[in-house]
Amino acid sequence: SQTIHQWPATLVQPVGSPLSLECTVEGTSNPNLYWYRQAAGRGLQLLFYSVGIGQISSEVPQNLSASRPQDRQFILSSKKLLLSDSGFYLCAWSVRTGGQSFGEAFFGQGTRLTVV
Amino acid sequence: AQSVAQPEDQVNVAEGNPLTVKCTYSVSGNPYLFWYVQYPNRGLQFLLKYITGDNLVKGSYGFEAEFNKSQTSFHLKKPSALVSDSALYFCAVRDDSGAGSYQLTFGKGTKLSVIP
């Protein structure tokens, strides 16, 4: 069966410090990968998605970047955190078939980031 | 562009009563529709999906949803609510046309409170 691991679960970082959140998927190959941010326990904002190694699409301009160094690894980074980067970050994956993706996404347990 | 609207921020229902959480959508092509549930400080759990076929979709934990193309709606329902159903519910949509198929767009969420 497929599983998704996301860590750490919580993180408190000072303003201006770097960030690295990691997400890995097991039990599947060539997944679509996603990073979402959820602010104030509500709506989800798609930050990045990836359809393959080294292929990253950014949905919103921001202080964050993403990388996919391996097929089932997705990393969210920042060189210098801002207060506004605080939030709940969720990694997700979905099956990709024939170059497209129509199925549901499966989510990790999330990382609560507090920038102080 | 695809979008999802959940018109109710909060829904309160008495235990044992039927519940409905509303969702409407907008897509360019054909919609692929999903419902997720989120408990505090956790990731999203997939409940059910509509891809094609029967308009009434059954999912996990006794939930079901009805796809209505003319009203562009996909309301979540359960015949008899449980206190343990209290959580945040998200509706999401994929568009089968072009790049939209990679993007899973979420509504802002509806907080369901089931009162004992």
Measured between beta carbons, the chain A residues lying within 8 angstroms of B42 are: 109-110
Of residues A28 and B17, the one with the higher pLDDT is B17
Partner residue facing A108 (CB), from B36, B43, B51: B43
Structure tokens at B84: 């343990």
pLDDT tens per residue, range A39-65: 876 788 889 999 899 999 888 767 899
Q: Is B69 on the interface with A (CB under 8 A)?
A: no
Tens digit of pLDDT at every position of chain B (116 positions): 789 999 999 999 999 999 999 999 998 888 999 999 999 888 899 999 998 889 999 999 999 999 999 999 999 999 999 999 999 999 999 887 765 556 788 999 999 999 99
Number of residue pairs across A and B with CB atoms under 8 Å? Answer: 63
Q: How many CB atoms lie within 10 A of CB B15?
A: 14
Cβ contact, residue pair A107, B45, below 8 Å? yes
A48 φ, ψ to 5°? -145, 150
Residue B87 contacts residue B39 (beta carbons within 8 Å): yes
Q: How far away is chain A from the Cα of B52, in angstroms, using its nearest Cα?
A: 11
Measured between beta carbons, the chain A residues lying within 8 angstroms of B94 are: 101-102
Cβ contact, residue pair A104, B34, below 8 Å? yes
Q: Is B42 on the interface with A (CB under 8 A)?
A: yes
Length of chain B in terms of residues written: 116
Residue B40 class from Cβ within 10 Å (0-12 exposed, 13-18 middle, 19+ buried)? exposed
Cβ contact, residue pair A90, B44, below 8 Å? yes
Q: Is B98 on the interface with A (CB under 8 A)?
A: no
Q: How many CB atoms lie within 10 A of CB B21?
A: 25
